[in-house]
Structure 1
Amino acid sequence: MAWLQITATTHRTQLAEAVFERFGADAITELDAGDDLTVEETPNSQPAFERARVVGLFTEGTPAEPILAALGEALGDDASIETDTLENQDWASAWLAEHPPLVFGDRLWVAPHSADVDAADDAVVVRLDPGLAFGTGTHPSTSLCLDWLAGQDLAGKRVVDYGCGSGILAIAAARLGAAEVVAVDIDDQAVRATRENAIRNDVSDRIATPPMNAIEGGPFDIVLANILAKPLIGLASTLAELAAPGAPIVLAGLLTRQIEDVTAAYESTLTFEEPALEDDWARLVGHRAVAPSRNRQ
């Protein structure tokens, strides 16, 4: 088995990582602009190079063209992008060994299937191995969404996860008590990963994965959209229509400098809370307006 390796040399390293995760990279490595490997001394710490090489490793047969197009759109003209083919190595297992359990809020954990979790008896544990698709809890945009979910009362709620990636948010919502979750994504690989992960977390009976243009049963109690700023802006009316009056819409995957543009796209339909920030990433939570009641004479 061979591997597809794509290397992006850029100062927008987190955007490059987000693209690689989105397309299901089995491993992601960040190096400086020379040849020295950047070693993370603490779990989930981010290297701080002005310009770095971000390397994504993909299983044999993964089409390179969509990934290259997404990198070009996200990183701009100043990025240098290269592709290579590597012989088989157990990259995914090595990456898994460096992927510790993560905790969000008081009781939500995300951990690989093989990891021991030292958690309280009432803890909610989502088991997810890295490499299936975007979203294992390590990226700031994903952790911001998991932090928000961990603080909500989801019992009996109906949730839509728009751009589900690995299914981590949909699965977390179901494990936290949501009665029904609709998870959709433009990437077929992400939808397959969501289904597989839902089965492995014993919540497949509460997670539906219809085509993106065939979402039924709305409006929903919660709308989650952990994607990038440009699609968040373009989907403003679609996402707003999915939410019930007063329901929260959680928007993530945007950088702090993009907050104003994203909020402007929703200003006619949502009232926003204060943004939550992690590194250079932001999470926005907006609420659909509640229609005023009419007094009958």
Structure 2
Amino acid sequence: MIPFDRNRALDILNNATARLTARAYIHEIGREFSLTPFQAKKVLKTLVEIQDVAYQDLYGSTYVMESFSKPVRITDRFFILPPDVASIAGSNDIDIRISAGISFGSGHHPTTRLCLTALDRLFFSTGPAIHLQGGKAGDIGTGSGVLAMAACLAGMSRCTAWETDPNAVSEARRNVAANGLEDRIKIIHGIMTAQDLRLSLVMANLRFPTLKQIAPDIDSILVPGGHLILSGVRVWEMDNLKTHYSAMGFSIDWEREEKMWGAVTLTKKP
């Protein structure tokens, strides 16, 4: 067997700025481990056989993605797994079932993991957030619906989730149904705008220019003392993001970086 570091091979997918075709992934594997094309193909074959990666057909092309075929622990509490796979979660764990699709939010990308880590911390590691139990949440740019589902499964009573991509809207609704949350999560096909909402928690995994643009709308729907989880930001954008939201009256509670991506949890001052 050709020696290679499995985690480094998967990091190639996580760190890519665009989806990788099999050919492109083989090229990157070869470059990462100094392998011949034949050896790199063998590595890809091994990753497929052990169900770490899978092929995905999208718009007439075939790409490589991390596999959905087995449960994956994302944080101390949250597991992500396919709808038809048996749970391996313990009594204190939370399963989130997601079907493989083209929408963002499988749990493999660093920004999704960071958001779920922030939720885990907010609900299960910080005493002051006990008031979130039973409150209402919002998820801006929901993608697969993973953050909306995680928030409700952690204790929020309801969540309104916005998404502009019609394919993602369809997939998010299927995922919500697979988790039995149809009565608690409302998926809206459209852009989040300022409206008469009183939310205790808002989540947005979006790029920095968008997070800066929608900051006034987020401020308008979040109650004083409410919590805000932001990600989708490159590490070199984090200071600008924190400065912008701090100037609006938000205090920074927690931040973390992973593979050149960052996330931050903030509280709206009373």
Q: What range describes the TM-score normalised by the shorter chain of this pair? A: 0.7 to 0.9
1:275 equivalent to 2:245? Answer: no
Whether the aligned pair in 2 keeps the contact of 1:26 and 1:57 (CA below 8 Å) is: no
Read off the aligned partner of 1:14 and give its amino acid letter: N
What is aligned with 1:124?
94
Tell me: CA distance 1:122–1:218, structure 2 relative to 1, closer, same or farther (3 Å): same
Tell me: CA distance 1:167–1:29, structure 2 relative to 1, closer, same or farther (3 Å): farther
Structure 2 unaligned regions, length at least 5: 1-11, 31-36, 124-129
Tell me: CA distance 1:26–1:125, structure 2 relative to 1, closer, same or farther (3 Å): farther
Q: Provide the aligned length of Structure 1 versus Structure 2.
A: 234
SS of the residue corresponding to residue 203 of structure 1 reads coil
SS of the residue corresponding to residue 113 of structure 1 reads coil
Whether the aligned pair in 2 keeps the contact of 1:26 and 1:58 (CA below 8 Å) is: no
1:285 equivalent to 2:257? Answer: no
1:156 equivalent to 2:151? Answer: no
What is aligned with 1:59?
58
What is aligned with 1:226?
205
SS of the residue corresponding to residue 259 of structure 1 reads helix
What is aligned with 1:16?
17
TM-score, normalising length: structure 1? 0.68
How many angstroms apart in 1 are the aligned matches of 2:97 and 2:168? 16
1:109 equivalent to 2:79? Answer: yes
What is aligned with 1:30?
25
What is aligned with 2:183?
205
Whether the aligned pair in 2 keeps the contact of 1:254 and 1:281 (CA below 8 Å) is: yes
Whether the aligned pair in 1 keeps the contact of 2:71 and 2:88 (CA below 8 Å) is: no
What is aligned with 1:294?
none
1:232-288 Cα shifts (integer Å, max 9, x gaps)? 122221222221111111110111111012123222221112421122111111211
What is aligned with 1:194?
172
Provide the alpha-carbon RMSD of the alignment: 3.4
SS of the residue corresponding to residue 246 of structure 1 reads strand
TM-score, normalising length: structure 2? 0.74
Read off the aligned partner of 2:266 and give its amino acid letter: G
Please report how far the alpha carbon of residue 100 of structure 1 lies from its aligned counterpart in structure 2 after TM superposition.
3.9
Q: Percent identity between the aligned chains? A: 22
Where is the helix percentage greater, Structure 1 or Structure 2? Answer: 2
SS of the residue corresponding to residue 212 of structure 1 reads coil
